[in-house]
Amino acid sequence: MFDLDLHLHSTASDGTLSPSELVNKCAENGLKVVALTDHDTLDGIDEAIGRANTLRNIEVIPGIEVSCSWNGTEVHILGLFARLDDTRLSEYCRRARKNRLSRSKKIVERLQHIGVEIKFEKVIELAGDAVIGRPHIAKALVDAGYVKYPKEAFDLYLGSSHSSYYPSSTISPVEAIDLLVESNALPVLAHPFRSKVKSGRNPIVNLSTLISELRPRGLQGMEVYYGDYTDSQINRLSLIAKDNDLIECGGSDFHNSGNPGEPQPGTVGPPIKTFHSLQERLK
């Protein structure tokens, strides 16, 4: 088991455990430091930190996962040590929530057009107060009996190669880096390679070009130890990180989604020295 997991999701976005439940699970699994990195929101951070303070055997890094688009590819940037009181970041989250709602409605309409009978009201109900996303649509597809697991929903309906897919109205990676740097957060490039568990996401093509654009803007790290990455993928990413003076980050990207083989908190992650390296970059 590992001590550090820098990529976790709660019910504030598309995870199924509340921030408190997630922190409990991480502590039970032996983790010492974790980052809550919900999609385009900081809403779960206070609860997570409060629970960690009560437990006293685990630390929570406030984080966010910012959705971006680069040359037609979906790219995610983690912002670690995010400030909850930053007005620019809060405004971004407000806009992103609105855009995600509009996108989700369009995806449901496209599903209905091909004969998949789910209602947008059901997706809204499943999301509750969370920032809505495709995983909520996937859950609606599971509940309606179209698929058995959320992963199947992405494989069959929601991935970028399918007719029901609708691209998100997101900012560019450069804009995301600028936003996070201005907010005094540390930007980390998330999951650059393909993952079998996350089959609905394409790998970043021309990764070296993207890094060359983002490193001068303030990119500080890259996920190397991620989810179900193979040893070969990890070794390749480690070399790229070292060549570009990027901190080797990573985590489980745990959502408690119910997908077979989903990596659990504490089963994958970078060494604890990564946490100290990130702290040094904050100074």
Q: Could you state, in order of their start, the residue ranges of all structural domains in the chain? A: 4-87+169-282
Higher-scoring residue by pLDDT: 1, 35: 35
User: Which pair of structure tokens corresponds to residue 106?
Assistant: 């369009």
pLDDT of residue 224: 98
Maximum separation of any 2 CA atoms in the chain, in Å: 55
**Rounded Cα–Cα distance for residues 119 and 129 (Å):** 18
Query: Strand locations in the chain, DSSP E?
Result: 4-8, 33-36, 59-70, 73-80, 186-189, 221-226, 247-251
Q: Compute the mean pLDDT over every residue in the chain, rounded to the nearest whole number.
A: 96
What's the average model confidence in pLDDT over 71-83? Answer: 94
Percent of the chain with pLDDT over 90: 92
What's the average model confidence in pLDDT over 163-181? Answer: 93
pLDDT of residue 197: 81
CB 191, CB 228: distance < 8 Å:
no
Q: In Å, what is the CA distance from 251 to each residue of 154, 158, 170, 174? A: 21, 24, 24, 23
pLDDT of residue 200: 60
**Rounded Cα–Cα distance for residues 254 and 153 (Å):** 18
Range in 72-81, 160-169, 184-193, 224-233 the model is least confident about: 160-169
Higher-scoring residue by pLDDT: 134, 201: 134
pLDDT of residue 125: 97
* pLDDT band with cut points at 50, 70 and 90 for residue 192: very high
pTM: 0.95
Adjacent-strand bridge partners of 61: 35
pLDDT of residue 111: 97
With a cut of 90, say whether residue 115 has pLDDT above it. Answer: yes
pLDDT of residue 245: 98
Cα radius of gyration (the chain): 18
CB 8, CB 34: distance < 8 Å:
yes
pLDDT digits (tens, 9 = 90+) for 223-235: 999 999 999 999 9
CA angle 243/247/252 to nearest 5° reads 120
In our burial notation (b when 16+ CB lie closer than 10 A, e otherwise), range 228-264 reads: bbeeebbebbeebbeeeebbbbbbbbbbbbebeebbe
Within 8 A by CB and 6+ apart from 201, the residues are 74, 159, 160, 191, 194, 195
CATH number attached to the domain at 4-87+169-282 = 3.20.20.140
pLDDT digits (tens, 9 = 90+) for 253-270: 999 999 999 999 999 999
CB atoms within 10 A of CB 60: 25
Query: How many CA atoms are closer than 13 Å to the CA of 257, on its beta-carbon side?
Result: 30
With a cut of 70, say whether residue 51 has pLDDT above it. Answer: yes
pLDDT of residue 199: 59
pLDDT of residue 257: 93
